[in-house]
Amino acid sequence: MADSELVFKKSYKCPICDSSFKNLTVKQGRARMESTDFDLKINYRSIEPLKYDIILCPVCGYAALERYFERVSVFQRKNIIDKICQSFNSVFEDKDEFDFEDAIIRYKFAFLTCQVKMSKSSELGFLCLKMGWLYRSYAKSLDENETKKIKELNKLELDFLDKAYNYFEDARANEQSPICGMDEITFDTLLAGLCVKLKKTDEARNYIGIILQNRDALKRVKDKARDLKELVDEIENESEE
Ligand SMILES: [Zn+2]
């Protein structure tokens, strides 16, 4: 099934320039879940919803993830107008679906917005996490003969997951839970998964220990932590060989 059958044009009002515009959004309940990766990335059949996660105002260039789109202070708004809108001159074609390259451009605008907004670490981390996952999906979507491009995308994925991890560590130390809408245990499970992906085995063991000792953690969460522990053992055994 083509993406265009699973998305629709949703109306938004830009909190910066007040323009009304439409943004492609995945229809609710239409993306079918297929599997979950160990760092909690959810994979869907026939669509990658991450491609549609950035709302971008085509008039002024302001861009953000939906959960942060409306959250702009007077000070941030002024900065965005001065540093983004006044020099924004990109033209976006009216499309009925996005490919990965379209999505990457949208994420880049969201990063620019985040920098100018001086966003919290959690917001930056969430953006880096989604960007890393987007590169993973992009690599998976290619024919396996395209080894050079796949290698490049795998590297970009790890770069962004590493950035996400660093922002999230900072958020965990300095921000109140829930962070990015995740409760403490889910957030720690995400961090443990990222550490495994990044082969930071000591840090992974630390988070896994925190989850296993948490009396509020459900059995399935602890089982997941034990699975991660096995992966850490494997990584360590490999590096000893
Ligand atoms: Zn705007």
In the prediction, which pLDDT does 10 show? 97
Mean pLDDT (whole number) for 67-89? 95
In the prediction, which pLDDT does 158 show? 98
29 — pLDDT class (breaks 50, 70, 90):
confident
Mean pLDDT (whole number) for 222-237? 96
Distance from residue 18's CA to the centre of ligand 1 (Å): 6
Distance from residue 94's CA to the centre of ligand 1 (Å): 16
pLDDT at 111 over 80: yes
Strand, helix or coil for residue 144 = coil
Mean pLDDT (whole number) for 14-35? 94
Q: Are 235 and 208 in contact (CB under 8 A)?
A: no
Q: Which two tokens mark 101?
A: 């390259």
Distance from residue 64's CA to the centre of ligand 1 (Å): 11
In the prediction, which pLDDT does 30 show? 82
Distance from residue 218's CA to the centre of ligand 1 (Å): 43
In the prediction, which pLDDT does 206 show? 97
Q: Which residue has the tokens 């924004």?
A: 88
Mean pLDDT (whole number) for 131-143? 98
DSSP per-residue string spanning 188-239: HHHHHHHHHHTT-HHHHHHHHHHHHH-TT--HHHHHHHHHHHHHHHHHHHHH
Q: Are 211 and 217 in contact (CB under 8 A)?
A: yes
pLDDT digits (tens, 9 = 90+) for 31-63: 899 999 999 999 999 899 999 999 999 999 999
Distance from residue 32's CA to the centre of ligand 1 (Å): 32
**Measured between alpha carbons, how far apart are the two ends of the chain, in Å?**
45
In the prediction, which pLDDT does 28 show? 87
Distance from residue 208's CA to the centre of ligand 1 (Å): 43
Instruction: Please state, for a pLDDT cut of 90, what percent of the chain lies above it.
Output: 92
Distance from residue 80's CA to the centre of ligand 1 (Å): 10
In the prediction, which pLDDT does 176 show? 94
Distance from residue 56's CA to the centre of ligand 1 (Å): 8
123 — pLDDT class (breaks 50, 70, 90):
very high
Distance from residue 168's CA to the centre of ligand 1 (Å): 29
92 — pLDDT class (breaks 50, 70, 90):
confident
20 secondary structure, DSSP code: E
pLDDT digits (tens, 9 = 90+) for 171-210: 999 999 999 999 999 999 999 999 999 999 999 999 999 9
Cis peptide before 15 (omega within 30 of 0): no
